[in-house]
Amino acid sequence: MHIRRHLRNRGNRSLRRCGTLLAAAGLLLTALPSCSPGNSPASSRTTMAVTGDAAPAGPYAPTPAALAPFYGQKLQWRGCPEAGFECATFRAPLDYDKPSAGDIRLAVARKKATGPGKRLGSLLVNPGGPGGSAVDYLQSYAALGYPAQVRARYDMVAVDPRGVARSEPVECLTGPRMDAYTQTDSTPDDRSEADRLVAAFKEFAEGCGRRSAGVLRHVSTVETARDMDVLRAALGDPTLTYVGASYGTFLGATYAELFPRRVGRLVLDGAMDPALPSRRLSLDQTAGFETAFRSFTEDCVRRADCPLGTRTDRATATLKAFFRQLDETPLPTGSADGRRLGEALATTGVIAAMYDEASWPRLRGALTAAMRKKDGTGLLGFSDSYYERDQRGQYGNLMFANAAVNCLDLPAAFASPAEVEESLPAFEKASPVFGRALAWASLNCAYWPVRATGVPHRIEAKGAAPIVVVGTTRDPATPYVWAKSLAAQLSSARLLTYDGDGHTAYGRGNDCVDRAINRYLLNGTPPTAGMRC
């Protein structure tokens, strides 16, 4: 399970996924090829800020004239298969350093402002991942779930980022091979098991390199942020209004860094810290899931149906013992394909439920069935949902895109199994129940066929209009300390704190949070300094 930056906004009831303990070294936000597609020569471009021109010059891009055909596009809207939405595609350079070398086509959808009131423009939404489909998010949640007064004044818009879903998706493994991958033991006990885990990471990476060679070098967050500016121009908006959740906060902050004078009203909910290296991100996320698990156990032990006992100080040991049993003897699940619930899938299932406290009752039931009735069906369901596996055994593109973006954006957390083993004490201290698995999950990018083009760095976005950063105090996937750090980096940020559980805050039922963000989106008034809900 790669819990690095698989950041998904589960709190908004959108399974944005955010990998297996293998695939998700970016779980949360989350977070996993050899036919080598080659390495990008512009390894320093993601560390530098540029001016806010519509077609930026400088180290990020070629001359404005070379990008003019892209910025001059007009969207040709048509009906979507989903009633009430309009769909279109637009072109962006596959390689912004060589815009004449080829295009990539990106899918966009919108739901027009419903009124009443004067239309304020377009509101672009992104649910995170990386790898989450923003179009699916718009059509399944945002266009109906965002507050009515916001939907009345804005056209709700979403674009699937390059390499994701409808936008030339990254592909890596077939369904059966993904089944094998997600079931690989993610807590190796000896050299043989560690070798099998490494072999699984290599097979995944090689599959991505073989099946997606053309796009794999060009799915970075910087490139996606530049695509958003092309879309902004095509929509006819002078500035970008945007709500990004989880990994979407990194995407939004990157946009502000690139185009500070194009920033309109930006909400970054469940924030990431762009200044942290991969290993620190993984370690912090591990601690975040431990915080969420403790909240779950404190709630669980007060209930009659809690399978972890009646004492919080024993709940961790109980769950660890259960995971050890599964490592030895996986449970039947009743699945038509005969899959059994082993430690890897069970751990993914429990972690998936940590994104949203509304999942806790169902998690208690799934754990009870597995621990007392030897039925792994419920936990397998959580895991399958996390991985976007359907009943036919097919997987969505989420896990593939998640790894492709994460491994391109930052250098690998670990270069070898030996480095993981050295770090195990720190990870197990951060989370006695999840630490070992999440440390090993962070090894996945070590075998990626494309060199990372980004490095960790502070984002200040000097000259940008006020930006709202939202942090939840017990967020499992994007720890609250990240929100505080990002708000301190951004020159114009206001931090809005939600004292609560779950991943992200906006649209999850807290009136204080929703009122503050609605006021900002509708009137341009950011929350007062130090506001807490």
Average pLDDT, the chain: 89
Q: What is the pLDDT of residue 68?
A: 93
Domains annotated for the chain, with CATH where assigned, are 33-170+217-274+456-523 (3.40.50.1820)
pLDDT at 64: 67
What contacts 373, CB < 8 A, 6 or more positions away?
A: none
Q: Determine the average pLDDT of the residues in 512-525.
A: 97
> Closest by alpha carbon to 499, among 517, 482, 512, 489?
512
pLDDT of residue 31: 26
Active site annotation includes 337: no
pLDDT-derived band at 143 (thresholds 50, 70, 90) equals confident
DSSP 328-394: HSPEE---TT--EE-HHHHHHHHHHHTT-GGGHHHHHHHHHHHHHH---HHHHHHHHHHHTB-TTS-
3 state SS of 240: strand
HEC profile for 283-295? HHHHHHHHHHHHH
Q: Is the pLDDT of residue 97 over 60?
A: yes
Predicted confidence (pLDDT) at residue 252 exceeds the cutoff of 80? yes
Peptide bond into 130 cis (omega under 30): yes
Q: What are phi and psi of 439, to 5 degrees?
A: -65, -50
* Tokens of residue 513, six digits: 């949070």
Residues 298-317 have a mean pLDDT of: 95
Is 6 part of the annotated catalytic residue set? Answer: no
Q: What is the pLDDT of residue 35?
A: 26
C-alpha span between 454 and 451 (Å, rounded): 9
Per-residue pLDDT reduced to its tens digit, 18-69: 333 443 334 435 322 222 223 332 333 333 333 334 444 333 333 468 999 9
| 394 pLDDT more than 60 | yes
359 pLDDT higher than 70: yes
Find the mean pLDDT for residues 111-117.
93
Q: How far is residue 329's CA from residue 327's CA, in Å, rounded to a whole number?
A: 6
**pLDDT of 372 over the 70 cut:** yes
pLDDT of 8 reads 45
Looking at residue 26, what is its pLDDT? 43
Contacts of 43-47 with CB under 8 Å at 24 or more apart are: 43/451, 43/452, 43/453, 44/455, 45/222, 45/453, 46/220, 46/221, 46/222, 46/254, 46/409, 46/453, 46/454, 46/455, 46/457, 47/454, 47/455, 47/457
d(CA 162, CA 228): 10
- CB atoms closer than 10 angstroms to residue 400: 29
> What band does 144 get if pLDDT is binned at 50, 70 and 90?
confident
Percent of the chain with pLDDT over 90: 84
Mean pLDDT of 215-243: 97
Over residues 180-191, the pLDDT tens digits come to: 999 999 999 999
Find the catalytic residue in 475, 492, 501, 514. 475
- Among the ranges given (113-117, 133-137, 182-186), the one the predictor scored with the smallest mean pLDDT: 113-117
Q: Which residue has better confidence, 305 or 31?
A: 305
pLDDT at residue 336, as a whole number:
86
**Residues 6+ away with beta carbon under 8 Å from 214:** 37, 94
The stretch 251-264 carries a mean pLDDT of 97
Selected catalytic residue, list 167, 246, 295, 431: 246
Comparison of pLDDT for 295 and 43, the residue scoring more: 295
Residues 6+ apart with CB under 8 A from 79: 85, 86, 87
**Average confidence (pLDDT) over 237-253:** 97
Backbone angles phi and psi of 171, in degrees to 5: -125, 145
Residues 308-344 pLDDT 10s: 999 999 999 999 999 999 999 999 998 888 999 999 9
- The 3-class secondary structure across 290-317, one letter per residue, is HHHHHHHHHHHCCCCCCCCCCCHHHHHH
Tell me if residue 179 is catalytic.
no
3-state secondary structure 436-456: HHHHHHCCHHHHCCCCCCCCC
- Predicted confidence at residue 210, as pLDDT, reads 97
Tell me how far apart the alpha carbons of residues 369 and 367 are, in angstroms, rounded to a whole number. Answer: 5
Give the whole-angstrom CA distance, residue 199 versus residue 169. 24
**Which helix or strand (DSSP H or E) is residue 404 part of?**
helix 398-409
To 10 degrees, what angle do helices 221-235 and 398-409 make? 110
From the candidates 2, 6, 218, 503, which is the catalytic residue?
503
User: What's residue 2's pLDDT?
Assistant: 41
